Structure 1
Amino acid sequence: MKINFYKYQGAGNDFILIDHRVSPVKNIDYELVAQLCHRRFGIGADGLMFLQSHKDYDFEMLYFNADGKPGTMCGNGGRCIVAFAKHLGIIDKETDFLAVDGPHHARISESGEWIDLQMIDVNTINTDGNAFVLNTGSPHYVALKEDLQNLDVFNEGKSIRYNETYKTEGINVNFVEDKGDHLFVRTYERGVEDETYACGTGVTAVAMAIANYKNQTGHIKTDIKVLGGDIKIEFDYDGKSFTNVFLCGPAKLVFEGDVSNVPL
C-alpha cells in the first residue's frame, strides 16, 4: 500500500503525520513505525502520528514513539497535529481533539504555524532528592543545573531514565537552567532514547516545577528556550493545582511525500 505522509516540526521536535480518516487504525506494525522514524533507514522523526476521525471530536490523535511503541501524550506532537488538521481543512481557528490523556483544546494563529495547546491540569508534584517528578500527560523528572549548555545530557539523562526507580516504566528527564528572563531546558526522552531538540510535556513540567520551587502563584507566563527554538508556557497556580495550562509555540510543515509497501 502506498501512503502519503507529512513531516512537521515544533521547535525542532519532528514528527511523521499520516491522515488516516478513511479507515481507523487497527493493527499497527511497531517495527514498521520504528523503521519510518529511523534517521538513516527511514524518513526520520522523534515520533509518528495518525490523525483519524472521532464522532465526538474534530479528530483523534494516535501517537507512537520513535522506537515504534505507543506513547503517552506528546505536547509538541499535539501542536503539530493541530497544524496538520488545519492544513487538511478539518479545522480553522480553534479545535477540540482527543489524545491518549483525554480531550485537548487548541487555538491556531492566522498563519497556522503558531499553536496554543491546552494541556491537562496537574495537581501533584513529588520530589526525588533535589529533583521534581510530575505527570503532564507524560511522566517527567526535572532537575536544576548550572552550565547546562555543556552538560552531557545523553549519558546523565539515560542514567536517570534507567535507574532502579524508573527503569521499568521509564521517565523523561529534563534539565533546566534559570537564566532570569527565561528558562533554558534540555531533555532526554524515553521512547526516543536520546536528547531531543524540544519536549512539549517536558517544558510544561519544567515551568510548573520552577513555579513550585519559587513559591510563585497566580497567572504565570514562562519563556523557555530549547535547542530547537522558543516556547511559552502559561497557567494558573494556587499553590496546589495548575489549571488553564497552555503550551504555546511553532508548528511547521517541513515536507510531504509518499511511502510504498506500507501495510496500514
Structure 2
Amino acid sequence: MQNTIEFFKYQGTGNDFVMIDNRDEQFPKEKEIIEKLCDRRFGIGGDGLILLETDEKTDFKMVYYNSDGNESTMCGNGGRCLVAFAHFLDIFEDQTTFTAIDGLHEAQINNGIIKIKMIDVDSIKNREGNFELNTGSPHYVTFVEMLNNYKVFENGNKIRNSASYRQEGINVNFVEEISADQIFVRTYERGVEDETFSCGTGATASALVFLKDKNETSVNVKVLGGNLKVYAEQDGETFKNIWLEGPAKQVFKGKINL
C-alpha cells in the first residue's frame, strides 16, 4: 500500500471533492481512510472523494464515495468536477464520455464551464404535493417560500430519517421559484448528513419538477455556492436529453500520508 498519495481538490458551485488519479489502482478503498481524507479537521476536507479510473469502453470511470466513506450513487457536481480533472490530466480535449455507477455519461468543457448529460428520468412521483424522483441518486423535492431563512438542516434531517426513507436514505431539496426561468434550491444530502452548498443531482431533480408540464426546456438554478443551469426535453412522463451545466475549478493539490 502506498504511504503517500497525491490528491487534487476541486469544487463545483461550492460542492467540494477530493480527487485522486487511480488509473494505477493503488488507492486503498477503505472506508476509514476515505472518511478521514474527507474530514475537514483531520484530513483534506470534502463533501466526497472521487477516484478517476480507467474504463474499457469510455475515456475514464468515476468511482464516488460520500464523506462518510461509503461508495454512493451518482453525484452531478462530482461528475462535473471529475470531467474538469480529466481535462487537466489531458485525457480529452473538449468532449468526452465516462462511466459512473448509473451508467454512461457524455460531457463537454468550454472555458471552465462543464456540461454533463444525466440519465433519463422515467417518472416523477407526486406524494401529496411533494415529489420523488431519481436523477442518478434518489431525491425528494418540496416547494417552500422564504428559502433564505428556511431551516434546511432541521427539516431535511426529519424527512431523510422519517420511516419512509430511514433505511435507504434520500436527498431532500427545498425549492423556491424566483421567476419563470429561475429557481433557488437548498439541499440536505444523505451520506454527508448535512446541507451542502450545492447538489448537482438535486439541482437537476428540482429543475425537472419545476419544468414538468411547462413548455420550457431549461431553467437557471441558484444554489448557495453559485449558479447552475439544467436543460431537459419532455416526452410524455419521461424526461430525456437532460444536461447539467456549471463551473468546476481546481482549488489546490498536495500530498498526504495515509
Matched-pair contact (CA < 8 Å) for 1:24–1:52 = no
In 1, the alpha carbon distance for the partners of 2:140 and 2:248 equals 25
In 2, the alpha carbon distance for the partners of 1:122 and 1:23 equals 33
Q: Report what 2:18 is aligned to.
A: 16
What's the CA shift string for 1:190-209, capped at 9, x where partnerless? Answer: 00000000000001000111
In 2, the alpha carbon distance for the partners of 1:41 and 1:129 equals 43
Cα distance change on mapping 1:24 and 1:100 into 2, 3 Å: farther
In 2, the alpha carbon distance for the partners of 1:24 and 1:203 equals 34
Gaps of 5+ in 1: none
What's the CA shift string for 1:210-258, capped at 9, x where partnerless? Answer: 122xx214x5110010000000000101331100000000000000000
In 1, the alpha carbon distance for the partners of 2:183 and 2:26 equals 40
What's the CA shift string for 1:9-48, capped at 9, x where partnerless? Answer: 00000000000111366x5110111111111111110000
Structure 1 runs, 4 residues or longer, greater than 4 Å off = none
Cα distance change on mapping 1:122 and 1:40 into 2, 3 Å: same
In 1, the alpha carbon distance for the partners of 2:25 and 2:50 equals 15
- For normalisation by structure 1, the TM-score amounts to 0.94
Q: Report what 1:101 is aligned to.
A: 102
In 1, the alpha carbon distance for the partners of 2:29 and 2:235 equals 42
Q: Report what 2:225 is aligned to.
A: 228
- 2:113 corresponds to which letter in structure 1? W
In 2, the alpha carbon distance for the partners of 1:22 and 1:90 equals 15
In 1, the alpha carbon distance for the partners of 2:25 and 2:47 equals 25
- For normalisation by structure 2, the TM-score amounts to 0.97
Q: Identity, % of aligned pairs?
A: 51
RMSD (Å), alpha carbons: 1.1
Gaps of 5+ in 2: none
Cα distance change on mapping 1:128 and 1:24 into 2, 3 Å: farther
- 1:87 corresponds to which letter in structure 2? F
Q: Report what 2:49 is aligned to.
A: 48
What's the CA shift string for 1:104-161, capped at 9, x where partnerless? Answer: 000111x3x2101000000111122220000000000000000000001001000000
Q: What number of residue pairs does the alignment pair up?
A: 255
Cα distance change on mapping 1:18 and 1:127 into 2, 3 Å: same
